Each structure stands twice: as C-alpha cells, then as structure tokens.
Structure 1
Amino acid sequence: MSTTRTADPAGAPPRSPAPGALPVFRVDGFGAVADGRTKDTGAVQAAIDAAHAAGGGVAYLPPGTYLSGGIELRSRVALHLEAGATLLGSTDLADYPAHEGPPADCDAGQRHLVFARGACDIAITGRGTIDGQGPAFWEPSGRPATPPDRLWADVVTHDWKPVGDNDRPSPMIEFAECRNVRVEDVTLRNSAGWTLRPIACDTVLIRGVVIRNRIDGINTDGIDPTACQNVIITACDIETGDDAICLKSENPYGELRVTRNVVVSDCVLSCCCNAFKLGTATRGGFEDVTFTNSVVHNGDVPLNERVISGIAVEMVDGGWVDGVTVSGIRMRNTRTPVFIRLGNRGWGQPTPVPGRLRRVRISDVDATGAILTSSVTGVAEQPVEDVVLSGIRIETDEGGHPEWVDREIPEEVAEYPEARMFGRLPAYGLYVRHARGIRLRDVEVVSTVRDPRPLLVADDVADLAVSAVAGPAPGPGAALLDLRDTRDAFVSGSRAPHGTGTFLKVSGSRSTDIALAGNELSRARVQVAVTGGASPDSVTGAAPAPRGT
C-alpha cells in the first residue's frame, strides 16, 4: 500500500503528499487507545473525517483492538485495517446512531457498525478484522427440541431470537446509494444480523473477503447486494448462519432500481440457509446475473445445519427475473441442489400480482449428499418460463416412500419461498410444475438408497424437452418419467435403466403432443403407459401399454 506522511496528533492533514499517493490518517494520531476496552469511536470517525476534508485519503488502523460504536464513511475515504487490527463492535446499542430509511425493527434496520450513504469512491481494505460481537444481541428462543425425523425441514438458527424488539446493528456494514465501492481482503465476523449490504449502489467490488458467523446465528446473511448495478463478488470465503450471498430487490431509502449486471465467481460458501439466492425481497427486477466456479459445502453436521438450497432463484413479490446463468458449481451435503420458485406473496402490493421468472441457465453442477428433491415451480396463472438445466449430476440420499408419488402437493402461492415449503415431493430427482419452455439435457440423478419415486415428475408443463437423462429405476409402481397434464413434450436420447417397469407415464386430460425419439427402451417392461384421463393419441414414437396400465 502506498502511503505518505501521517497526520499529526491534532489531526492536521499531512504536508506535501507524494504525487499520486493518498494521505494516511492513523487513528492513534486522533487518540485511539486500541485496548479493546476503551471506546475508540470518536478517534476512528475523526480520522475518516480528516481524510475526507483533505480531499480523500486513508483512515488507517494499525494492529490493535478498537472498540467502536457506529462510524460513517465519507466520499473518497478508504478505511484500512492492517493485519492484526480489529474494529470491535460495541455491545451497547446506544453506541449505534440510527440512520433513517429502513424500519428500525427489521432484520435490516437502522443501526450499523460501518455506514455510508450517498458517498462515492469508498473502500474497506486490509488484512484486519471487523467483529460485530453479534451474539451479545441474541437470546435463546426457548423452542422445543426438533424431532430427529423433522431435522430435514428445520433450521438451527431458530434456536435463537433477537434480544428485545429486534433493534440491533444490522446490517453490520451498510452502504446505501453509493458509487464506486470496494471491500477487499478483510475478515468480517460475528455480525448481529446481516453482515454486508450494498443497497442501491453502482459499481461495487467485493473481493477476497472472509466472513465467519456462527452457524446458528440468526439472520446472519453474508453479502446482500440489493437494487445494485455492476457488482463483482469474487474469491470470497463465507461461513454463516443465514444466506451466504443473496441478491434482493427493495429500497427503503428511495427509488427502487433493477438489480443488474452482477457477477459472483470463485467463492466458497457454507451456511444453513441458501448458498446463492435471488430473493426475497423481490419487488423489482433482476437482470443479467451470473454465479460461476464456486463450491457450496457442509461437513458431517446435523441436517438442520446444512445448506437448504445450493442455488435458489425466487420471485414472489411481483417483480421479474430475466437472465440468470449458473455454471461450474460443486456442492457437498446440500439439502436441495436447485430451487426455482415463482410465487405470489404480494409483499408491499395493494393487489398482489404474480411477477415473471424466465431465462435461467444452470449447467455443470455436481452435487452430493442431497436429501430433498430439486424443483422448478410457478403458479397456475403464471408459469416459470425458459429454464435450461444441463450437465448436472446429483447424488441423493433421501430415500422416498411410495405414498409420496401420489401425494397432493400444496400450491402455497403466497408463502415464503423455501425448498422445503412443499414437503416431500413425488420425484427423487426433479419436480416441475406450472412451467413453460423447460429443457433438461444430460441430467443424471443417482440415488444412494432405493427410492420408489420417478426421477422426474412434470405437472402442468408446456414445451418440455428431456434429453439424455439418467437415473436408477424406481419401484414397480412408478415410471421413470411421469408427465401429468403436460403438453408439447419431447423425450429423446435416454436409456431405460435395468429394472424399469415403465419408462414414461402420461396422465391428465390436458396431456397432448408428447413425442419420443432416439431412446433405448429395451430394458423397460412397458415403454409408455397412458392413464388418468390422457388420450392414447397424446403420445407418439413408442408403443404404449394398454390404457389404464
């Protein structure tokens, strides 16, 4: 890091900085004690203000522990934490001034350890640490112990609740309506709620950041870009309790803008909620988002400490998703590899209307340790559109039951979106409902335990193409592929596995224009079974079994 002469103890700006270098203002020059007990809030803020007054500079924290309440970054100021330096958040809520905009008592409220609004050219850099002492703001929830057979649907963070009225420093770091933002190399830990949120910002770079929050930390999201544009998040290592990286669309500070041009790459993510997620809130649009070359992981931990969804793309508040690409993702012990959901929660809408979710591409995903079925679901009046899943391999340990195959799946139109929201699903690989323009190519699902359910169940789906799908044969009462009220479907390039009773089952009076070509079905006892009100003429390209089989 290039530096010049530091400010004197009185806080005067340095004399004659070298050309092109930033003046550096050491916080100990403004009276910081750095003993972890004396509050250094005033000294840290004074260094920031002096750098701003000088036209730009670095507020520098040398090694030591700086106990602090809320501070505010100014334009053209970098807060630099040297290796061995810790900015330690106060446990006294009164040390955090409220900043108007968000409601005071929400997960993302008005109090923050580091805050900026309307600033430009700001940064947090260095190998030091920002520690929010978050557990000081929680208390046990007192809920009953979760039965072992329900851990798949549980989240360990529910063991805790915020102290009092939920007024806590969250997000720990909040940048609102800023431009040219950098957060690099620092460690962020022990947030009381959300950790880092750029909201309504332009041009954001978050690189090499390490986040360490407790796995049972309540609402401890890692990074939440919200209504931001031109965002790069790369080479980050996140272990937290809530969503690791979550894009949102809301803006309590002012105008709601489209979340656009977001790149997330080369990250390592672990949590007990969702690893990479769009939503909630989803009041506006998400356009041109990529998530690539990353690892989602959990160790050998209880099921309620595992990632719920490795990839979650959600739209439930009337906005839109148009253009998401996910590729090169490795998952281990993720409950649900893929969850795509269009609902109609109507949050903030006087008359709820469903939004739109389309143009999603997910490829080159390898997941092991799944315990819940991946799904793509819309609502009856508004389907999910144009989703391509390709080059995907999922290894599942779920092990279903025959009664799940014909279980009535609730619509849950207005419910909070989560992969476990429908309960157990009728397929062991993928469940698709209320969708149009779905493409499955080179998808393999391997069940480590015998599972009597179909690999794929499609219900109220139009324009479906299934090519080169593979998985073990289900039990004798189920087909490998189960199409219900499905129109304009093409199944090709697939092979019936050993032990296949029925390869394809078609049901529902709306099923029509279903074609098979180029499949190897010699190991299937029945190639196609047409039943449940479907017409025998709805399928071409294979010899169907007698009606009602």
Structure 2
Amino acid sequence: MSGEQKLLDRRRFLAATGMAGAMSITAAAQGKVVAASSEGAVADGRTLNTVALQRAIDRAHEAGGGVVVLTPGVYLSGGLQLRSNVTLRLEAGSELLGSPRTEDYQYHPGPAEEGDANGRHLIFAIDAENIAVEGLGTIDGNGAHFWHRKGRPQAKPEDMWADVVAWDYEAATPRRPAPMLEFARCRNVRVEGVTLANAPSWTMRPIACESVWIHGVRVRNPIFAPNTDGMDITASRNVFISDCDIATGDDAICIKSENPYGELLPTKNITITNCVFTTCCNGLKLGTATYGRFENITFSNSVIYNEASSPLNERVIAGIALEMVDGGSIEGVAISNIVMENVRTPLFVRLGERHKGRGSFVRDIKISGIQARGALLTSSIMGVEGMPVENVSLRDISIATVEKGERKWAHGMPPEMREFYPEARMFGRLPAAGLYVRHAKGISVSAFSLNSETPDPRPVIATEDVSDVELLHVKASAAAEGEPLLRLRNTQNAWVSGTRAPAGTAVFVEVAGATSSGIALHGNETSSAAKVVAFAENAKAEAVTGA
C-alpha cells in the first residue's frame, strides 16, 4: 500500500470514529493528498527540500486542490509558495526548518527588498484562496542565523524601565526572510494548531486579505529576538484570532495599515479572543504603520504577562497600545476582560502626527474589565493640540502599581513630541500615578481603582486640555506630600461623582488653569479631605459647582 493510500485510509478511519477533530475540516474535504516524501523530500534536517516541497504543493494545486503532508522529521527548505485550494499539514513531530541562506528565498515584488518586512518568506501566498497551514508540527525560521549582538552598553539600573532587551540584537543581514509567513491579497486563509518558532523577523502577516482564521497557534521567538512581531494583521478584513499562545521579542499582535501590494483598504472587522501574550514590547498594538482606517476591532478574554523575575527591560512596554500617527484613523475599538501581570504600562492611547493626513482621528474606544498587577508606568490617553482623542470610555479598571513616584513628576509637563514614533515610555514619568489625559474630548472613566505599593505624591488622575470628561467612582490611596487626589488643568465640562476621598487626602480636586470651566462635583464623600477644592494657575472659583 502506498504512503498516499495509507494517509487516505487513516482519514477515513478518523472520520468514521469521530476522532478527526478540527483537522477534519480540510482533511475530509475532497482533494488530493500528497505526502512530501512521495515527491522526494528528505526529512533529515540537512537536505534542502525546496524543490520537492514546492512540487508537492503544485501537484495538489493542479489536481484542483488537496493536502500536502509533512510526516515526522525535519524538512530543511527555502522559500515556498502556497497556492489556491492547498492545505499544508505538519503532523506532530514534523518540522519545516528555514534555510540559513538568504539566496534560498525568492524575492517577491511589492515590499522593499530589504528591511524588517521585505519580499522574502519561508511560506508565501498571493492572490490565492482557500489555503491553510495546519497541524501540530513546527515551522522554524532558523532565526539565530539572521541576527547578532550589537555590543551596545548595558542600560543603567535606573534606566531599565525605558530599555528594551531586544535592542541588544540587530539583523545580521537586511535581507533576512520577513515576514516568515506572508499571505498577500488572499481569501479564506486558515492557520491552525502549528508552532511558529525562531522567526528571522516578523513571524506572520496576512496583508490585504479577506476572511482569515488563526486558531490555536503557538509563537515561540526568543525574548531578545529583534523585530519578531508575533502576528501583523495588515490592511485586512474579517479576521478571527483565538486561543493563541504568543511569546516573542516584539509586539505580540500588531495591527497595521499599509499595503505595498496595491490599494490600501481598511483594516476592519478584527476579532481577537482567548489568547496569552508575553514579550518585551507591546501586547496588542494598533500601529505603526497607520496610513489608513482601522474599524471594528475587538480584543477580549486574554492574558498579557511577564514573570516577576523578569528584568524591567524584558517586560511588556504596554499591554494595550492604540497608536495613530500616519494620517489614518481609528474608530470602533472594544477591549474587555484582560488580565495583565508585570506589564510596564497597562494602557496607552496616542494620536500624533508623524505623517500628516486629512481628518486623522482616534475615537469611539471602549475599554473595560482590565486588571493589571505589577504595573510600573502611568497609563495615558494623549492627542496633540488641535487633534484631540475623542470618545474614550474606561470602565472597571483596576491597576496595582509598584512605581515609587516623585513629587517633581507631579508638576512636570510632558513634551508634545507631535511627530515622534509612538511608545508608552516616550514621555518619561507622567504627572499622574494612574491615568494622565491630555488633548482629549469625551472621556468617561468609571470604577477606576489604583493601588500603589508605595506612597505616590501624584494625583491618581490628571487632565490637561480636556473637555467633556466624567470621573466616576475613582478609588485610590491619598496622594502623598499634600498633592491632590485629582488634578484638572485647563479642563472644561467635567463631572466628578461617586468618589470617596481616602483618609489623609490634602485636596480632593485641584482645578488649575484659566480656561478651566464647567466642573461639577456631585455625590462625593469628601469628609476625609482637608480641602475639597483648591485653585491654581489662575483658575477661577466660578469654574466649580457643587463643592
């Protein structure tokens, strides 16, 4: 009996006994089954199998569709192109190992020939439909051959909060395969069950695709590996990511808007759920690049973590980073039920202007059910002057921080950095312990709790150039050294309600700035505050009612 016939008989047995599981979706479908070994592939980890594996893919495609199967062993290969109606299946114990030689990867036009994302890939598909990569095997990009140590000086202990361990390494060649898996302008793409390891740069990018399912995927890149984003969802629509376990050296999931393959369509209808991330960069990040529209994005029921023993420069920079700096827009983001452990900054929302665009905006963001333990840096929502972040709701946010604040930070004025690359640590230490909001409109904060491990001489929440803001049911320890619990600077139409002044509060609310107005205090418990309202920086008493 041929190897191909054995595979067919095995599938019939699994289907008959109800044991096929998730793999049966494509395996049981009509199509040719091609064992890679039947096309001459040798699973010894030394023989270059590019030609044999591509022949197996082409054979399945030419038959109208089918499954190419890698049985246990290590298949060394250069770049492969997946074609319509073909599933590449890696059985448990099999490994597709990327060649360490850049000349074994064909350049595919569109992206730049060099850089973090270029035209060389271990697996590539373009204008294909009904394609899949599945199984319990491993795709290993042989990344260690494509980067090396820089030899840069180590960061001082006091600067580790702003450092990133991946900066210790850099690309050994600008033509490293990147992304390792690239799906361009494809429809009905499925990646399921596989482990993606040691990517030379970005791990996987669906770009300008429609209908993408990514389920049960493990990413395993070293924490120091440079530019090894776990998944870069780019200019695609109707994308479903679930039950993934990502450990990497750059952003775990990064949603982008750019398209070197043609028309820039919206990045739209993206659902991410039931995932676990660990990295030294960001957990979920929107941006960069951000040239077009982001619409209808959800992220839920997930964990973002670092071990308590991790040095500060190996910890997640921001658990959630929503960044728009290249002239595009973000509208309609819902994030809920996220647990973070030892993440430096829980939340970072930024609208900047690295590249100018017509009508760039960030608005209609709802974030709820966030529990962050071991945080270090202040969460923030920041636009730039004349370009406010709009309509952001934070509800049921609980942050436990280990940062020991300083009073000089409470009175600092972060630089605007309008044209800078966005990053949560870019502004340094912020003038609030829990949340800093600047250049924003329509901000609602409800059931926000901050637990500081050490006394912090900064307000729990501070606003600057903000209008139409609600601060409801805020809970925190009293700010140390006589600082207010809340500071509202040049803030209009603010509603503060349902908040109890903790014991030792010097000032419940400080109103600062001559343009502050329409600030209403209602239904608060302020008996423990030495002073309910204080005024500074030419703020007027008539700016506040209900005190």
State the partner residue of 1:375.
Answer: 380
Q: What's the TM-score once normalised by structure 1's chain length?
A: 0.94
Counterpart mapping for 1:108-507 below 5 A: 108-164=117-173, 166-299=174-307, 300-346=309-355, 355-507=360-512
2:32 maps to 1:32: no
**2:235 match: secondary structure:** coil
Q: How many residues align?
A: 526
**2:89 match: secondary structure:** strand
Sequence identity percentage: 53
State the partner residue of 1:547.
Answer: none
Contact 2:31 2:64 in 1 (8 A): no
The residue type paired with residue 350 of structure 2 is: R
Alpha-carbon deviations, 1:387-434, whole Å to 9, x = none? 000001000001110111111210000100000000010100000000
Q: 1:293 to 1:124 in 2, by over 3 A?
A: same
Q: 1:82 to 1:22 in 2, by over 3 A?
A: same
**2:241 match: secondary structure:** strand
Contact 1:4 1:22 in 2 (8 A): no
The residue type paired with residue 500 of structure 1 is: T
Alpha-carbon deviations, 1:68-95, whole Å to 9, x = none? 0000000000000000000000000000
Cα drift, residue 476 of structure 1: 3.1
Q: Distance in 1 between matches of 2:418 and 2:360?
A: 12
State the partner residue of 2:15.
Answer: none
Cα drift, residue 450 of structure 1: 1.1
Contact 1:316 1:354 in 2 (8 A): no
The residue type paired with residue 183 of structure 1 is: V
The residue type paired with residue 201 of structure 1 is: C
Contact 1:7 1:29 in 2 (8 A): no
**2:268 match: secondary structure:** strand
Q: 1:142 to 1:423 in 2, by over 3 A?
A: same
The residue type paired with residue 35 of structure 2 is: R
1:47 alignment partner, one of 50, 53, 56 = 56
Cα drift, residue 4 of structure 1: 6.9
Contact 2:4 2:34 in 1 (8 A): no
Contact 2:407 2:481 in 1 (8 A): no
The residue type paired with residue 144 of structure 1 is: P
Cα drift, residue 135 of structure 1: 1.2
Contact 1:179 1:203 in 2 (8 A): yes
Contact 1:345 1:352 in 2 (8 A): no
Contact 1:269 1:296 in 2 (8 A): yes
The residue type paired with residue 337 of structure 2 is: G
State the partner residue of 1:14.
Answer: none
The residue type paired with residue 58 of structure 2 is: D
Alpha-carbon deviations, 1:93-132, whole Å to 9, x = none? 0000001111112211110000000000000000000000
State the partner residue of 2:115.
Answer: 106
Q: Distance in 2 between matches of 1:20 and 1:41?
A: 26
State the partner residue of 1:66.
Answer: 75
Q: Distance in 2 between matches of 1:208 and 1:419?
A: 29
**2:234 match: secondary structure:** coil
Q: Distance in 2 between matches of 1:4 and 1:140?
A: 46
Q: Distance in 1 between matches of 2:521 and 2:237?
A: 44
2:96 maps to 1:91: no
Q: Distance in 1 between matches of 2:255 and 2:279?
A: 16
Cα drift, residue 141 of structure 1: 1.1
Structure 1 moving runs of 4+ over 6 Å: none
Q: What's the TM-score once normalised by structure 2's chain length?
A: 0.95
Contact 1:513 1:539 in 2 (8 A): yes
2:5 maps to 1:5: yes
The residue type paired with residue 163 of structure 2 is: D
Q: Distance in 2 between matches of 1:22 and 1:4?
A: 12
Contact 1:146 1:154 in 2 (8 A): yes
Contact 1:41 1:70 in 2 (8 A): yes
Cα drift, residue 140 of structure 1: 1.1
Q: Distance in 1 between matches of 2:147 and 2:28?
A: 49
Contact 1:213 1:240 in 2 (8 A): yes
Contact 1:6 1:25 in 2 (8 A): no
Gaps of 5+ in 1: 9-17, 543-549
1:523 alignment partner, one of 525, 528, 536 = 528
**1:393 match: secondary structure:** strand
The residue type paired with residue 79 of structure 2 is: G
The residue type paired with residue 264 of structure 1 is: I
Cα drift, residue 21 of structure 1: 3.1
Contact 1:178 1:202 in 2 (8 A): yes
Structure with the larger helix share: 2
**1:416 match: secondary structure:** coil
Cα drift, residue 5 of structure 1: 3.1
Cα drift, residue 154 of structure 1: 0.6
Gaps of 5+ in 2: 9-26
Contact 1:4 1:23 in 2 (8 A): no
Cα drift, residue 478 of structure 1: 1.1
Q: Distance in 2 between matches of 1:85 and 1:381?
A: 55
The residue type paired with residue 394 of structure 1 is: I
The residue type paired with residue 74 of structure 2 is: T
Q: Distance in 1 between matches of 2:425 and 2:311?
A: 16
